[in-house]
Amino acid sequence: MRVAFRAAFLTTFQDLLDEFKSGHAQRNCPGFLSQVPIAAGCALQVQLDVLFRTWQRIASGQEELNSLEQCVCFYALGELARLGEIDDHSTITCAVDGADVIDINDRTWLTSTLRAIQITWPFPVDAADLQRDVSLLMADADAARVSNREQSLADEFLELIGDWTVSPQILRNARALLTSDEFTRLGKFFSEHPHLMNL
């Protein structure tokens, strides 16, 4: 799971750097949450914020993840699977970060293994239901018909889309997931763009 979260960070942070370097939103992969159409347009810094918050709960041993956190786990796995599909060895190597969990032979089966994990899903079924519910995943969120149980999850996604700033705890939440160099780069980015933080 740590490798998946790191993969989601690496691709999303690179998209964020590219966006602010170029000054416009032309991106090849607009963050790891772009896999779910209802989250299309979610600000990249907000995606990182929810990614780190979820990781902090996992790292602190929280057994009960809410539906949004389950979805973050689901799509972090999906982002690592996507890297396997496009054979992005350099990003996968950075995501592994010295952990002896994926060797060169594993990469051949990385995507299919991760898709199997997503199907068998170690959490309750809520997040998997989101993935399977085509109406909820429609790009037009207003047209999505959801059950009462799923409505709160749809609302949480829509709230994320409406956010622009990140919590002041983003760096603290990121510390356990990132290397020291990555942490420094993330801190430097937010020091250069303080308007993105909800201070």
State the residue range of the domain holding 88: 2-196
Number of domains in the chain: 1
Sequence-distant (≥ 6) Cβ neighbours of residue 75 within 8 angstroms: 8, 32, 33, 35, 36
Q: What is the pLDDT of residue 23?
A: 60
What is the pTM assigned to this prediction? 0.84
Nearest alpha-carbon partner for 47 in 59, 61, 35, 62: 35
pLDDT of 54: 96
Select the more confidently predicted residue: 7 or 66.
7
In angstroms, rounded to a whole number, what is the distance separating the alpha carbons of residues 15 and 193?
15
Please compute the mean of the pLDDT values over residues 113-123 and round it to a whole number.
Answer: 73
Is the model's pLDDT at 140 over the cut of 50? no
Q: What is the pLDDT of residues 9-59, one digit of tens each?
A: 999 999 999 988 866 555 566 899 988 777 878 999 999 999 999 999 999
Residue 61 CA to residue 59 CA, distance in Å, equals 5
**Tokens read off for 194:** 């303080």
CA angle (123 as vertex; 6, 125 as ends), nearest 5: 125
Average pLDDT value for residue range 63-68: 84
